[in-house]
Structure 1
Amino acid sequence: MITGELKSKVDSIWDTIWTGGITSPITVLEQITYLMFMKLLDDNQLKAESNANILGVQLKNKLFKDGTCIISENPRVETDYKNLRWNIFHNFEPEKMLSNIQTYVFPFIKTIGGDGKDTAFSRYMKDTVFLIPTAKVLAKVVDGIDSMDMNNKDIMGDIYEYLLGKIAAAGENGQFRTPRHIINMIVQLMKPTLKDKILDPAMGSAGFLLSSANYVSEHQGKELMKTDNLKYYKGEMFSGFDTDQSMLRIGAMNMMLHGVEEPNIKYQDSLSGANIERNAYSLIMANPPFTGSVFQEEISKDLLALCKTKKTELLFMALFIKMLKTGGRCASIVPDGVLFGGSTAHKALRKELVENQHLRAVISMPSGVFKPYAGVSTAVLVFTKTNAGGTDKVWFYDMKTDGFSLDDKRNPIEQNDIPDIIERFNNLDKEDARERTEQSFFVPKEEIAENNYDLSINKYKKVEYKPVEYPPTTVILAEIENLNKQVVQETAELRKLLGL
């Protein structure tokens, strides 16, 4: 999420493009992300060159060839590769800068990482168009982007989330990002490794994939130095599906900027019969759409066999079970209705998780986590696919705060349960002794089954009522009489002052 000065700068860039004649909000959003990508791409290259100089090694330049760069879309168009770089062309005169981006830079970035191959990035950039209308508008936007602090690893995602909030559709069709600190919490709970094959079948701007890539890079840096591991990390380790081309494009851009050049990102309705992948992934993390339904005739039949419904939040949970390998793990955000809904489909899904899989944890989150986009209460369900049961007890945690105020402003605050959640989840052997009056506790499977597989924490949490002792009525009456005397006395004094 963005606040303060950065928010003002983004608003100014938006207004500049809008005033320049582009009145489609989606088009404004896309043009901003294209220019930000150009800037971040060059920033990454400058860092790589600086590190290579410090280490005294020769940098293998995959993005820019030495000398003349030939744009693959038109072999007859040539320019000095330096002219493709933000740190060079942002100093050009506005007219020259606009011509340079239109003729060379934008066609070039559309082909990055392709090398003639059909990669996610080249696939979703292929039909894009650079539409900044005038040199004056471009110069102002470039200056605005230059003034931003771009050190945030996922600044494109943060700004994209904010821009979506400026569009009327945001929040109505599910197009808003999961807050990054919630994504990071889930990734730290699941601890992805290079042995995992990771999927988000409702990927949006690829937040879960990006956080997983960062976690693996941070915790298995030495292993990533091995050629086979690096090749796997840059390609088939990460998969993501979505039905929104703009989301796929921003996701592919984000993955490219984080060193994952060939992820399996594709346009696909994950719930439809066209998705035939089953038993394929070792780790799924997702925040699937909370609202809406789909045409029943398009839903994959094996999902309906597990959970006969048109509700997407239930169907996605069924999908996760089907797409995981045996032994695979899943952590998914769900609306609270999934935990206690009384329909046959709700109960069937919960029974499946408890009886046939290994349901490990239910982390209840406060309703303000997704504000200002949505106020729905949510939880994180964590389970392992076994197809043979394994649930003996389920760990519940009642998150009160996530480090931000729970109103629409979402200002940072000191109170934050997330570090405690991670600490307790990683040491579940110490949780057995906790009472139901505490913030976390275990509930045995038998008790959950007796309660129609209800997974809402309030069903099991015990509230400690402390008796309040009031003084005797004689004392209370004496206090009232004294107050009345005081009122009469002060009223008389006021009359004297007023000469009445």
Structure 2
Amino acid sequence: MITGEIKSKVDAVWDAFWTGGISNPLEVMEQITYLLFIRRLDDEQTLALNRANLLKKPITDNPFPVGQDYDGRDWEDLRWSRFKNMDAAQAFEVVDKRVFPFIKDMRGEDSTYAHFMKDARLTIPNAGMLQRVVDRLDKIPMDNLDTKGDIYEYLLAKIASAGQNGQFRTPRHIIQLMVEMMRPEPGDRIVDPASGTCGFLVATTEYMRANYADAISSGAGREQYHHDMFHGFDFDNTMLRIGSMNMLLHGVEQPDIRYRDSLAQASNDDAGAYSMILANPPFAGSLDYENTAKDLQQIVKTKKTELLFMALFLRLLKPGGRAAVIVPDGVLFGSSKAHKELRRILVEDHKLDAVVKLPSGVFKPYAGVSTAILFFTRTDSGGTDHVWFYDVQADGFSLDDKRTPLLDEGKLGVSGVLNDHEHAKNNLPDVLKRWFLRDSSELEQQRTEQSFCVPKDDIAAQGYDLSLNRYKEIVHEEVEHRTPEVILDELDRLEKEITDGMAQLREMLAGGAA
């Protein structure tokens, strides 16, 4: 867990950028990502040298060449451990003119990180600012894997707190809930078609390390975990760089993080390739038919991105594959032909498992849109017997723009173990608990409760409307009011008490004056 001392050191790095004139939080994050990558290369070089010395063999897997370049300059100068001790002007010259061009020339065949660093550009304007940033970054401990990941997550959280581009971050506790509900396992191929900073994939790595450490630490399990388990697509190169570094600092050697417009025609080469989808795509706007994959239009004929992404999820999943995705409420009850057809497909042609309604303040202060989490399984042969609904009313944080933590909000642990919580403050632990009872005791829940199941026939009869309020029953308590005569008598009594009190006060004042 990141300590207050480390947070203050990270804050100092962030402040060095802001006081130096770089105030765009994404640019700050991008520059920090480059520098962390450079520091990571130095750590890899040190490991390679130690391995070579131990085995008494020539160094073969080092990131930096050995010796001197064509101009007779020492390659060692490109290492973090070397240039951090140079004077400011010399270090700036080396980093700007040599280190960054070196990163650009690194080929992506061996590393997804190197591939996305090929457009790296130093935007730190002067030697003094670079020296301050490097000195402050160097003071942050990056030896422990968990600490590395926590530090980077804290940096990403600062993008949101800076008040810009907060839409790139789904709240971490919501991501964690979805991962715990899905329970990924070794062998799963997990994809996020709008990966951004790779928050869903990172949360999955934490879950895997907490629950399957032995299975992913050696042999075929380790190979699959590091090279084939995690897949993320985005068409923003900045997000790809940040997301790739996020995965690297969480210990995944070679995730498949790629540039891709997931809804485009050219991206139709991995249908049925994945066993799990975890996503919160950018549901906004419309697309031109010409820019959209034709097979998605065959599933649901629409220009609405939220519906096209749902069609994409069904295409990417293999039969038996499962998805947990955040959707705007319009997907649940939209009245267009495309909306109704998509919901019919989910219920009749596949297995719709659950609809978890989220409070409208979950994404504040950046958006007040109402959302829900849909859980479904691709079957191609139906299988929906009933759908489980849960009405989340509290997620452990205030639902205003400040989103301050509430007392006793409880906490979801990546091991699947829940701490004690106050139900009224945070429903998320209860969601997780009841999710695994949806085929047993939850079937007996009345529709007046916070969670309940609805048979498929009832949903079909309502035109496949999936809004929770369509099925939830509200019980109105009978309240007995006093009769008007009784209320008037009470007012007379109160008025007499006030009159008598005022009379006593006058007598006391008159006595005092005398």
* Equivalent residue runs for 1:83-482 within 5 Å: 84-85=79-80, 90=84, 93-102=87-96, 106=100, 117=109, 119-145=111-137, 151=147, 153-163=149-159, 166=162, 168=164, 170=165, 175-276=167-268, 277-413=270-406, 414=408, 415-428=425-438, 429-482=440-493
Q: CA offset at residue 352 of structure 1? A: 0.7
| Distance in 2 (alpha carbons) for counterparts of 1:493 and 1:109 | 90
Supply the distance in 2 between the matched residues of 1:35 and 1:264 (Cα, whole angstroms).
Answer: 22
Structure 2 unaligned blocks of 5 or more = 409-424
Shift of 1:14: 4.7
The question of whether the paired residues in 2 share the 8 Å contact of 1:79 and 1:104 is answered with no
Identify the range of structure 1 (482-491 vs 428-437) with the bigger mean alpha-carbon deviation.
482-491
After TM superposition, give the deviation of residue 132 of structure 1 in Å. 1.8
- Aligned length in residues: 483
**Gap change, CA 1:105 and 1:364, over 3 Å in 2:** same
Report the AA paired with residue 283 of structure 1.
M
What SS is found at the alignment partner of 2:276? strand
- Please tell me whether the aligned partners of residues 359 and 394 of structure 2 are also in contact (alpha carbons under 8 angstroms): yes
* C-alpha deviation, 1:23, in angstroms: 6.4
1:115-149 per-residue CA deviation (whole Å, 9 max, x = no partner) reads x7254212210111123222321233345445668
- SS of equivalent to 1:205: coil
Quick one: distance in 2 between partners of 1:290 and 1:424? 28
Q: After superposing the two structures, state which structure 1 stretch, 159-168 or 328-337, moved more.
A: 159-168
User: Quick one: distance in 2 between partners of 1:123 and 1:329?
Assistant: 30
Is the contact between residue 187 and residue 224 of structure 2 (CA under 8 Å) also seen in structure 1?
A: no
CA distance in 1, matches of 2:159, 2:227: 29
Q: 1:180 to 1:90 in 2, by over 3 A?
A: farther
Deviations 1:4-32 (A, max 9, x none): 99888767645543553546664334213
Could you say what secondary structure the match of 1:199 adopts? strand
TM-score, with structure 2 as normaliser: 0.83
SS for the counterpart of 1:367 is coil
Q: Which residue of the partner structure matches residue 417 of structure 2?
A: none
Q: Distance in 1 between matches of 2:91 and 2:462?
A: 66
- Sort the Cα spacing of 1:425 and 1:42 in 2 relative to 1 into closer, same or farther, 3 A: farther
Specify whether residues 301 and 79 from structure 1 end up closer, same or farther in structure 2 by C-alpha distance, changes over 3 A only.
Answer: closer
* Deviation (angstroms), 1:162: 2.9
8 Å Cα contact 1:242-1:269 kept in structure 2: yes
Structure-2 change in CA distance of 1:24 and 1:479 (3 Å): closer
Residues 78-115 of structure 1 deviation map (CA, whole Å, 9 limit, x = unaligned): 3448x7346x7656544454345446655566678x6x
> 8 Å contact 1:243–1:268 — kept in the other structure?
yes
In the aligned structure 2, how far is the partner of 1:119 from the partner of 1:382? Answer: 33
SS state at 2:444 partner: coil
Deviation, 1:245, is 0.6
Cα 1:485/1:164, change in 2 over 3 Å = closer
Does the Cα contact within 8 Å between 2:334 and 2:340 map onto a contact in 1?
A: yes
Pair 1:344–1:141, CA change in 2 (3 A) = same
Q: Aligned to 1:302, what secondary structure does the other structure show? A: helix
Distance 2:92 2:140 in 1: 21
Distance 1:216 1:29, change over 3 A: closer
**Separation in 2 of the partners of 1:424 and 1:23?**
44
TM alignment of 1:23-62, pairs within 5 A: 26-38=26-38
Whole-angstrom CA distance in 2 between matches of 1:469 and 1:310: 53
SS at match of 2:362: helix
Deviates more, 1:465-474 or 1:33-42: 33-42
Check whether the contact 2:281–2:309 (CA below 8 A) recurs between aligned residues: yes
Any conservation in 1 of the 2:69–2:75 contact (CA below 8 Å)?
no
CA shift in 2, pair 1:6/1:437, >3 Å: farther
SS at match of 2:466: coil
Q: What is the Cα deviation at residue 296 of structure 1?
A: 1.8
Gaps of 5+ in 1: none
User: Which residue of structure 1 aligns with residue 495 of structure 2?
Assistant: 484
- Structure 1 position 472, deviation (Å): 4.0
Deviations 1:280-332 (A, max 9, x none): 11111100112111112211112112222211111101110111111111110
Moved more, 188-197 or 384-393: 188-197
Q: Cα–Cα, structure 1 residues 435 and 110, in superposed 2: closer, same or farther, change >3 Å?
A: farther
Distance 1:476 1:147, change over 3 A: farther
Per-residue deviation at 1:385? Answer: 0.3
What TM-score comes out, normalization by structure 1 length?
Answer: 0.85
Deviates more, 1:345-354 or 1:144-153: 144-153
Distance in 2, matches of 1:70 and 1:147, equals 27
1:206 counterpart letter in structure 2? C
Quickly say closer, same or farther: Cα 1:62–1:377, change in 2 above 3 A.
farther
Code of the residue aligned with 2:92 in structure 1: it is: L
Does the residue aligned with 2:285 lie in a helix, a strand or coil?
coil
| Mapped partners of 1:407, 1:196: distance in 2 | 37
Identity of aligned residues (%): 48
Please report how far the alpha carbon of residue 426 of structure 1 lies from its aligned counterpart in structure 2 after TM superposition: 2.0
- Measure, in 1, the Cα distance between the counterparts of 2:484 and 2:70: 93
Deviation at 1:242, TM superposition (A): 0.7
Cα separation, 1, equivalents of 2:71 and 2:210: 40
The one-letter code matched in structure 2 to 1:368 is G
Q: Distance in 1 between matches of 2:161 and 2:95?
A: 28
Question: Does the C-alpha gap of structure 1 residues 69 and 385 become closer, same or farther in structure 2, counting only changes over 3 Å?
Answer: same
Q: Is the 8 A contact 1:361 1:394 kept in 2?
A: yes
Residue 423 of structure 1 aligns with an amino acid whose one-letter code is K
1:456–1:146 Cα change, 3 Å: farther
User: 1:63: how far off?
Assistant: 11
2-structure distance, mates of 1:72, 1:426: 61
> What do you get for the CA RMSD once the two structures are aligned?
3.6
